[in-house]
Amino acid sequence: MPPRRAVATLARRRRLTAAAFLAPMLAVLAVVAVWPVLHTIWFAFTNAELGGGPADFIGARNFISLLADPQWWRSVANTLIFAALSVSVEAALGMVIALALNRRFRGCGLVRAAVIVPWAVPTVVSAKLWAWMLNDVFGIVNAVLVGAGLLAKPVAWVASPRTALVSVVLVDAWKTTPFVALLLLAGLQMIPADLYEAARMDGAGPGRIFLAVTLPLLRPALLVALIFRTLDALRVFDVIYVMAGDNPASMSMSVFARQQLVEFQDVGYGSAAATLLFVLVAIVTVIYVRAGGLWQEA
């Protein structure tokens, strides 16, 4: 066989092998991801209802109604505020914890293990145990704050419109800070020790070292943590639904869409709301990927 044809055959065989190994996985993804998304988008242009029955194409009417729905705008604002607040709190707390754990001290292995615990707690459980601690009548948070004289009377943290959103942010931060802290710690441990040494030799103080050495070198790890957390926060459902139900003061875009879909059985309208969240997440992803220049070598 002449060599060129042999190479071509080899390449073809490799393509066939690749296709054979990829096909099952791609077929499953087509069924569980691509088809449902396309179906949801199609629903968004119809007046489908949960009970079934024939659905009619009604053009962009669902989207037009959404844009005129103050409750939907409220959920958009809640989602953006939730994402901005929770990601900032997690980044700040995660950084403090990572810096503390990056030091060597007696029992640091134990402390590191302890820090992971909230991450191991299922979101529903974390929402329930904080709902119990923040309970307006029997909660320990109110008992301690009232006992210390910081509050005149107990606060209904989750029910009251003024504190509902902040409460769910803090609960989300409790559960996900370990993830951020661990990613940052992994980043910190890759910074060579002699860089700190050199900076100290040059007479830089701790604050200066953090800004000039640690932060720039930690940028990739920080960016990855922020991307993952932002995308998760924009999709938030569990913690808000379990703690506050359909309370408008804390309702996120996901909670709004599910309420329309399941409670009000308005599949068309709910699918339109879900589609808009999908678009929002896609836009944020593209912005992040562009800005970070990440995944270039994937």
Partner 1 sequence: MNRRALRRWAAAAGFRVLIAAILFYALFPFYWAVVSSLRAGSALFGTSLLPLHPVWGNYAAVFRAEPFARNILNSVLVATLVVLISLTLSLGAAYALGRLRFVGRRMLLMSILGVSMFPQIAVLSGMFALIRRLGLYNTPWALVLSYLIFTLPFTVWVLTAFMRDLPRELEEAAIMDGARPLTIIRRIFLPLLAPAMATTGLLAFIASWNEFLFALTFTLTNSERTVPVAIALISGASAYELPWGRIMAASVIVTLPLIALVLAFQNRIVAGLTAGAIKG
- 228 contacts partner 1 (rule: CB under 8 A): yes
Q: Furthest-apart CA pair in the chain: how many Å?
A: 91
Smallest gap, in angstroms, from Cβ of residue 202 to partner 1? 20
Q: Which is nearer to partner 1, 88 or 135 (CB)?
A: 135
Least distance from C-beta 59 to partner 1, angstroms?
18
Q: Does 80 sit near partner 1 (CB under 8 A)?
A: no
Quote the CA–CA distance of 178 and 90 in Å, as a whole number: 9
Question: Which residues face 57 on adjacent strands?
Answer: 46
Of 33-41, 65-73, 148-156, 157-165, the segment contacting partner 1 by CB under 8 A is: 33-41
**Six-digit token string for 202:** 């040059």
Gap between the Cα atoms of 98 and 182, Å rounded: 7
Give the residue, chosen from 6, 7, 31, 77, that forms a contact with partner 1 under the rule CB under 8 A: 31
Does the protein bind partner 1 through residue 67 (CB under 8 A)?
no
User: What does residue 183 show for φ and ψ, rounded to 5 degrees?
Assistant: -65, -45
Which one of 6, 7, 8, 38 is in contact with partner 1 (CB under 8 A)?
Answer: 38
Residues contacting 78, CB < 8 A, separation 6+: 165, 249, 250, 251, 252, 253
Residue 47 as a binder of partner 1 (CB under 8 A): the answer is no
**CB atoms near residue 227 (< 10 Å):** 18
CB of residue 128 vs partner 1: minimum separation in angstroms? 6
Give residues 193-212 in contact with partner 1 (rule: CB under 8 A).
none
Identify whether the C-beta of residue 66 lies closer than 8 Å to the C-beta of residue 272. yes
Q: Which is nearer to partner 1, 169 or 257 (CB)?
A: 257
First to last CA, the chain: 36
**Coil, helix or strand for 277?**
helix
The residues, ordered by sequence, that sit 6+ positions from 184 with a Cβ below 8 Å of its Cβ are 94, 95, 98, 218, 221, 222, 225
Q: To the nearest whole angstrom, how small is the minimum distance from the Cβ of residue 151 to partner 1?
A: 14
User: Is residue 129 part of the contact set for partner 1 (CB under 8 A)?
Assistant: yes
Strand, coil or helix: 57: strand
Q: Which stretch binds partner 1 (CB under 8 A): 80-88, 192-200, 208-216, 277-285?
A: 277-285
Please select the residue that binds partner 1; options are 9, 17, 65, 160, rule is CB under 8 A: 17
Residues from 232 through 251 that contact partner 1 (CB under 8 A) = 234-235, 237-238, 241-242
Q: Is 97 in the site for partner 1 (CB under 8 A)?
A: yes
Q: Is 262 one of the binding residues for partner 1 (CB under 8 A)?
A: yes
Q: Which residues pair with 46 in a beta bridge?
A: 57
